[in-house]
Structure 1
Amino acid sequence: MSGPDAFEEYVAARRGALLRTAYLLTGTHEDAEDLVQVALVKAVPHWKRIADHPEPYVRKILARESVSRWRRRRWREVHTDRVPDTAVAEPVSDRLELQEALARLAPRQRAVIVLRYYEDLTEAETARVLGISVGTVKSQARDALARLRVEALDTVSP
């Protein structure tokens, strides 16, 4: 089924899942909403071709646009959730610690982790979505997981 109705149905059905993926890629709700908006706008011209199975195409746009946005903005903006002169560290839930650790990963590493372990894509599917080799997916996942483990140990240490 193609056409405007099919696109609207897809957006209504998958908006939440797309926002969650975008949030994991960007780290902020505002950027996630912007990223989903951009991905859907970019998908519209190709809707007739992708209408039967749009999810991989839209995920590819999300991942690539996330990396592109980071490259464009990295020297201009610094996102922070904490005031620099906080005297006492507050206890943080495991979920927030993971979210912060994901935010510290390089964009491509974050995209690989989100697609492999959150979206449950295979290495080959992740490689196809990101336009990289399977070997690169493996090395990026290995490096990202190692960094997440180190960060997890740092939060456990007194």
Structure 2
Amino acid sequence: MTDAEIAALIEETKTLPADYLQRLKQKTKRGHREAEVELPGTRGSVFRVIIRESSENPLDFSVILAHKPPNTNVWFRLRRYNGKSHEHTNRLEGSKFFDFHIHTATERYQDSGFREDAFAEPTARYSDVNGALECLISDCGFEIERGNQKSLFEEGKDQ
């Protein structure tokens, strides 16, 4: 996928229902909690938001925007907002850092045989999974219908 196609998918408007956090299908898996919601874009694309958080380490999380190309069963990761739980290395640049970071799919990394979203940049824009989700929503063409909302993974707590 080209960088222009990636940018167009990230910018495509995606409407989240007001109660999207309650609609996220939460599952407890070995060592982490995971939730996801699938939604259409305004140009007919299919997207999925996937949230994973370690049960043991609150800094070990990923908030992912994925796209399902037509006529495939494969999810292509457009963006991934990771916690500060591991060192990241950008192999083509040779740069390393230990920080919160945002992965972005790039044509260059795909062409070099790496995962589509292997490139990442450090960020100070969030410090937890809820902040990462807010950044993804802000950065990736989301619109939220009006309504009351609770924080992610805080069901049962009143706001």
| Greater helix proportion | 1
Both structures adopt the same fold (TM-score exceeding 0.5): no
TM range (shorter): under 0.3
What TM-score, normalized to structure 2?
Answer: 0.26
Larger gyration radius, structure 1 or structure 2: 1
What TM-score, normalized to structure 1?
Answer: 0.26
| Greater strand proportion | 2
